[in-house]
């Protein structure tokens, strides 16, 4: 065990260990060689594996997503670095119509073992075309598994699980959790095993036990929710914080169990409010825990405008929403 600061180092280490174990894994994308991808997800790999397995591509998402589909079709396991999730539109056809569907449409003859790693989130002034989250859009489409790590430990284990999966997996890494020196860091340095290990898809983590309400979050919203829970604790309010880890598959059982215990639920998301993760999770929770709820489920997400700090849920806004939910429930 040794301490790692941020998910970027953990993801890069996971890819390295799996490349050493499996020579079918190759890395594609923009700036994946010398830069190690802009947000560090492939750092150090080029010096170790060279151009045969770490391939810089032109700035054309349609092309390198297509390369990944083709490589997966003939038995390779491509790891694709999509620099910003906001750029996914340039590769939509290959991702939505081929990567996600070819396994189904071929009757299982062509599995799509592709791992896409992309950077998400705002909060540091990169503007509306570089700061979105958008995982709800990919979770909506059957075929993809959706991974959103909030800790270095999970980032390594979930990445290794992705690299051993025969399905297309998209890993959404928040920039403010990477631990890179040129970005603010809102995570925690933590102990991570040096040896390879996996973290199971579809198993949420209860990051903090509580009795008065449940806060459900993913990515950057997890550490912010934990800080909000500390603020609530100073007022005698006990908040349970659940880290989804994966949106697809979703650990519905853990969410429902917590909602039945606390009776109040706040779902926090950095993605857009409409037709997103908060609505899907809210429906599943109320379907399983309706009789136990003491107040309507509340959602805190980004309004349907492409801005940054003015709309992204902050620790203070999470605290205020949670505090008012407990107040509303107590009054009822």
**What separation in angstroms does the CA of 69 have from each of 14, 76, 91, 112?**
22, 9, 11, 7
98 is catalytic: no
Whole-angstrom distance, CA of residue 216 vs CA of residue 48: 39
Angle at 250 between CA 248 and CA 252, to 5 degrees: 165
Tokens encoding 46? 């080029």
Do 215 and 145 form a contact (C-beta atoms < 8 A)? no
Do 300 and 271 form a contact (C-beta atoms < 8 A)? no
Angle at 222 between CA 218 and CA 226, to 5 degrees: 155
Considering 98, 130, 140, 174, which one is annotated as catalytic? 130
Whole-angstrom distance, CA of residue 210 vs CA of residue 136: 27
Whole-angstrom distance, CA of residue 73 vs CA of residue 98: 10
**Residues recognised as catalytic:** 130
């Amino acid at each position: 065990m040794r301490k790692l600061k941020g998910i970027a180092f953990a993801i890069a280490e996971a890819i390295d260990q799996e490349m050493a174990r499996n020579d079918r894994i190759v890395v594609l994308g923009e700036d994946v060689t010398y830069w190690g991808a802009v947000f560090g997800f492939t750092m150090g790999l080029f010096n170790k594996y060279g151009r045969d397995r770490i391939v810089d591509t032109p700035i054309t998402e349609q092309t390198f997503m297509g390369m990944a589909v083709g490589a997966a079709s003939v038995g390779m396991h491509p790891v694709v670095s999509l620099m910003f999730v906001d750029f996914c539109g340039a590769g939509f056809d290959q991702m939505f119509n081929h990567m996600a569907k070819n396994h189904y449409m071929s009757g299982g003859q062509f599995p799509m073992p592709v791992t896409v790693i992309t950077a998400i989130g705002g909060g540091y002034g990169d503007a509306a075309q570089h700061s979105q989250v958008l995982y709800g859009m990919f979770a909506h489409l059957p075929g993809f598994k959706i991974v959103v790590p909030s800790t270095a430990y999970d980032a390594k284990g979930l990445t290794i699980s992705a690299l051993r999966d025969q399905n297309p997996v998209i890993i959404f890494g928040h920039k403010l959790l990477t631990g890179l020196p040129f970005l603010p860091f809102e995570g925690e340095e933590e102990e991570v095993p040096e040896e390879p290990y996996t973290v199971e898809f579809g198993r949420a983590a209860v990051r903090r036990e509580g009795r008065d309400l449940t806060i459900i979050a993913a990515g950057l919203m997890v550490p912010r929710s934990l800080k909000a829970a500390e603020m609530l604790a100073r007022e005698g309010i006990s908040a349970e914080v659940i880290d989804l880890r994966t949106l697809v598959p979703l650990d519905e059982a853990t969410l429902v169990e917590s909602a039945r215990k606390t009776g109040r639920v706040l779902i926090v998301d950095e993605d857009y409010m409409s037709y997103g993760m908060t609505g899907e999770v809210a429906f599943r929770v109320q379907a399983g825990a309706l009789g136990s709820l003491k107040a309507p489920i509340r959602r805190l997400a980004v309004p349907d405008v492409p801005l940054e700090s003015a709309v992204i849920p902050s620790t203070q806004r999470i605290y205020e929403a949670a505090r008012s939910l407990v107040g509303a429930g107590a009054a009822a």
